[in-house]
Amino acid sequence: MTVLGGMEEIAVRRWIAGRKLEDAVAAVKELNAKGMDGIINHLGEKVVYRAHARAAVKASMDIIDAIKLNKLGADIAVKLTDLGLNMDVAFCSKNYNDVARYAKSKGVFVWIDMEECGFVDDTIKIYSSMVKSGNVGICIQSYLKRSIDDVRKLDRKAVIRLVKGAYADRAGGFRTRRQATGNYVLLMDYIFRNFGRFTIATHDSSLIDIALKMNRKYRRDVTYAMLRGVRSNYALELARKGEKVAVYVPFGEDILGYAYRRLKELSNLKLIARSILGGR
């Protein structure tokens, strides 16, 4: 973590459980004790060697074993570029299928994280090949204009985790956070009407309030998910009110991509706060 400066290091420690799988296991045990689930992710993305993608498959299987062995209330999340998507789609698809089948044999649920817009088509295709297995879910990003069409085309057995999106796309993305938030509401409305089980992944309490209200009407199996180290008290408050809550718990050595996305969000929030307070 020394590549980052002092303040950043503190922030990163907050967002990431540690370097080892046992750090993530300990973090999830704490969550479980407070009535929340974990979503464990072994950090890694955009590998360029097949051996690294194979190591990521092994790391995913180790997480699945640890979930089973420790009887954790936890899912696993994978990034397809960690399984080789940017090298060879067929190779990645096989790697993902291996992880999903192994997870199924152990009764563990596997999420696919969604990455940059250039990977969305292949990610949906690969996910769709396994959707009927019942133990797999996919992340959908509201900042992308295409997402409503993507969701309409998904099999009704799909399990969606809806996020605003941690990436940018000049051509296919909404320009402002406000527009991405508006599209989030539109997507939620569609998902509530058409899917039975899904996850609302945001720290935005205005969106969570809308979801809670929608669910009084639709009575779906909804989980509210947040990232480790972000609005933890709010997550706990929701769990104490009886809502299903899950916290995304990353661990590992490859922290830069993840840390960069979180730092960017933090600086956006600081800018918003400054503009509200009238500062520069």
Ligand X SMILES: Cc1cc2nc3c(=O)[nH]c(=O)nc-3n(C[C@H](O)[C@H](O)[C@H](O)COP(=O)(O)OP(=O)(O)OC[C@H]3O[C@@H](n4cnc5c(N)ncnc54)[C@H](O)[C@@H]3O)c2cc1C
* Interface characters, 137-156, with ligand X (x: CB under 6 A): --x-x---------------
Tell me the closest approach of the beta carbon of residue 166 to ligand X, in angstroms. Answer: 4
Q: Is 227 in the site for ligand X (CB under 6 A)?
A: yes
Closest CA to 28 of 20, 15, 37: 37
The total of other beta-carbon atoms located within 10 Å of residue 13's CB is 13
Site stretch for ligand X (CB under 6 A), options 58-66, 90-98, 121-129, 224-232: 224-232
> Which residues are within 8 A (CB) of 94 and not within 5 positions of it... i.e. 6 or more apart?
none
* 164 forms part of the interface with ligand X (CB under 6 A): yes
Q: For residues 91, 96, 98 and 22, what is the CA-based torsion angle, rounded to 10 degrees?
A: 120
Out of 169, 204, 220, 244, which residue is the one contacting ligand X (CB under 6 A)?
Answer: 204
- The angle that helices 89-105 and 120-128 make with each other, rounded to 10 degrees, is 40
For position 165 contacting ligand X by CB under 6 A, the verdict is yes
What is the C-alpha separation between 40 and 31, in angstroms, rounded? 12
Residues 99-128 that bind ligand X (CB under 6 A): 113-114
- Are the C-beta atoms of residues 164 and 201 closer than 8 Å to each other? no
Nearer to ligand X, 84 or 173 (CB): 173
Neighbours of 263 (CB within 10 A): 16
State which residue, 34 or 50, has the beta carbon closest to ligand X.
34
Please tell me whether residue 223 binds ligand X under the rule CB under 6 A: no
Q: Interaction with ligand X in 177-196: which residues (CB under 6 A)? A: 177
For ligand X, the closer of residues 177 and 244 by Cβ is 177
Cβ at position 203, least distance to ligand X in Å: 3
Considering only residues 80, 131, 151, 226, which one is a binding residue for ligand X as defined by CB under 6 A?
Answer: 226
d(CA 162, CA 189): 11
Q: Which is nearer to ligand X, 165 or 252 (CB)?
A: 165
Choice from 35, 122, 129, 167 touching ligand X (CB under 6 A): 167
Q: Which amino acid is at 246?
A: A
Applying CB under 6 A, what is the total number of residues that bind ligand X?
23
* Residue owning tokens 């508006």: 182
Q: Shortest Cβ distance from residue 69 to ligand X (Å)?
A: 24
CB 107 within 8 A of CB 60: no
Q: Does 243 bind ligand X (CB under 6 A)?
A: no
Residue 166 is a binding residue for ligand X (CB under 6 A): yes
For residue 201, state whether it binds ligand X (rule: CB under 6 A).
Answer: yes
Contact 69, 33 (CB under 8 A): no
- CA separation for the pair 151, 146 (Å, rounded): 9
* The pair of three-digit structure tokens given for residue 190, joined into one six-digit string: 């569609």
Q: Which is nearer to ligand X, 42 or 203 (CB)?
A: 203
In whole angstroms, what is the distance from residue 246 CA to residue 225 CA? 5
Where along the sequence are the contacts to ligand X (CB under 6 A)?
A: 113-114, 139, 141, 163-167, 177, 201-204, 225-227, 230-231, 248, 265-266, 269
